[in-house]
Amino acid sequence: MKFYSTNNKTVLISLKEAVLQGLAADNGLYMPESIPAMPADFFGGMHEKDFRQIALAVADKFIGEDIPNTELQRIIDHTIAFDAPLVEVERNISALELFHGPTMAFKDFGARFMSQLLRFFSSQVKREIVILVATSGDTGSAVANGFLGVEGIRVIVLYPAGKVSDIQEKQFTTLGQNITAVEVDGTFDDCQRLVKTAFLDNDLREQYFLTSANSINIARLIPQSFYYFYAYSQRKEKSAPVVFSVPSGNFGNLTAGLLAKKMGLPVARFVASTNINDVVPQYLASGHLVPRPSVHTLSNAMDVGNPSNFARMVDLYDGHLNAIQEDVIGYAFTDSDTKAAMLSVSRKQKYILDPHGAVGYLGLKKYLEGCNDDVNGIFLETAHPAKFKDVVELAIDKPIPLPGTLEKFVKGNKQSLAVSHDYHAFKKILIDTLVVSHT
Ligand SMILES: *Cc1c(COP(=O)(O)O)cnc(C)c1O
């Protein structure tokens, strides 16, 4: 399978190039040259397959030609090392829990799959692969944990000192091995600027193969389609329609769902659920995408004013707005809606939502308003509520325990390199770190 850039469909490149480059040189996003269809008997026999078998069948369609079978199997076994159960919350509504991985958020799927693909390709790259990632919290932890211990790859996480939560910070500063955390005296924008400057620094690029593990990488998108298929195989009402509500920010997760539908997954509708950063619901209503600066909300992983995967969504439908509108409906919710949903679902259904999942729940609820038929309504629970302990406890008015996975991080020792936001100071630290890792 070859890949093209959303800005130029005439040039096709290999999987390896697409994964190593991340973003295309023309600033477009890579897309598969065609969308493979799953055979009809795949859906019939699905309930007898486990998560790994389903994921393997889907992955094979995209990357089977480029990765030997045994290697592909290994990559899937590593990626799908935890379950994604469909948990009933109330009649017609279930949560697809995507938070059973090492950092307890759905980004674990994408980060783990990408790390294994890069590991496979690293033997074909002459220099050491260095991943630079700037984070305001969650991306850094998923990437650092996804790449932990992966041979041939170093990960440098840059984060703004004092501006990420304690638990987020612990998730990438306590790991050691091939992960180095750099604590920048500055803002998230400073971290991003340092990373961008490093990518343009020829002196560095001659010595190291620099890449990013950004969420636009095609290797992070593909694995996110696996769990839509798996959710379908777990649905209760076999004859009722399936509706997915996806709490969205950069729209990678939703795009992966649309990809699954294009591969043949029978989904009646997708609900694009956002917080008040609602440029996509606005687009679905008006036909115009009007990016604007993001506003801080309780579901902060979705505070995005110019969604990076939007180009892919449009590309999947060849730019036909009507066709997108047939498949996707958008709703936006305020922080007070989000808090009210967390409280009521905790009291009535005894289910604890995180702020992002709460937005997904609200979107589904709104879509199903007045519907008396049976529906397999599924919202994606993208993070464990304990990751947002303070916000959730305040909303539901009771304490929630910290699961062992998160407690382990909290007990770890923070190790980080402090640096000013000056590029030369950062470069010196970077080179010193990489030299040591070589010896
Ligand atoms: C990243 C993230 C989202 C948003 O996902 P997109 O693919 O960017 O739309 C939602 N919830 C959580 C918890 C996240 O970390």
Q: How far is CA 189 from the centre of its chain?
A: 20
CB contact at 8 A, 384 and 348: no
> Who lines ligand 1 at CB under 6 A?
105, 107, 138, 247-253, 301-302, 356, 382-383
Residue-level pLDDT at 187: 87
pLDDT at 429 over 80: yes
Substitution candidate for ligand 1 out of 96, 104, 106 with most atoms within 8 A of CB: 106
For 239-248, how does the pLDDT look when each residue is reduced to its tens digit (9 = 90+)? 999 999 999 9
> What amino acid is encoded at 352 in this protein?
I
Tell me how far the alpha carbon of residue 269 is from its chain's centroid.
21
How large is the average pLDDT for residues 95-124? 94
Residue 418, domain member (yes or no): no
**Res 437 pLDDT > 80:** no
For the chain, give the mean pLDDT. 94
Adjacent-strand bridge partners of 184: 160, 419
| Within-domain flag for 133 | no
Question: What pLDDT does residue 439 have?
Answer: 47
Q: What is the pLDDT of residues 138-163, one digit of tens each?
A: 889 999 999 999 988 999 999 999 88
Residue 47 lies in a domain: no
Say which CATH number the domain at 242 has. 3.40.50.1100
Domain encompassing residue 325: 83-105+220-396
| Contact between 361 and 337 (Cβ < 8 Å) | no
Tokens representing residue 357 in the block: 């999942």
Q: How far apart are CA 425 and CA 414, in angstroms?
A: 21
Give the percent of the chain with pLDDT over 90: 83
Residue 302 backbone zone (phi > 0: left; psi -120 to 50: alpha; other: beta): alpha
Q: For ligand 1, atom 8, which residue shows the shortest CA distance?
A: 250
DSSP element (H, E) containing 209: strand 209-211
pLDDT the model gives residue 9:
92
Compute the average pLDDT of residues 356-375.
96
What is the arithmetic mean of pLDDT over 219-223?
Answer: 96
Residue percentage of the chain with pLDDT more than 70: 99
Domain count, the chain: 1
Tens of pLDDT along 31-42?
999 999 999 899
Q: Is residue 407 part of a domain?
A: no
Is residue 185 a part of any domain in this protein?
Answer: no
Ligand 1 pocket, mutate which of 342, 382, 387 (most atoms under 8 A from CB): 382
Please state the rounded mean pLDDT for residues 300-326.
Answer: 94
- Domain presence at residue 30: no
Residue 216 parent element (H or E) = none
Residue numbers annotated as active site = 107
Which pair of tokens denotes residue 170?
Answer: 């612990």
Q: Using CA atoms, how far apart are residues 149 and 155, in angstroms rounded to an integer? A: 10
Q: 300 C-alpha vs ligand 1 centroid, how far in Å?
A: 9
Q: Is the pLDDT of residue 122 over 90?
A: no
Residue 215 pLDDT > 80: no
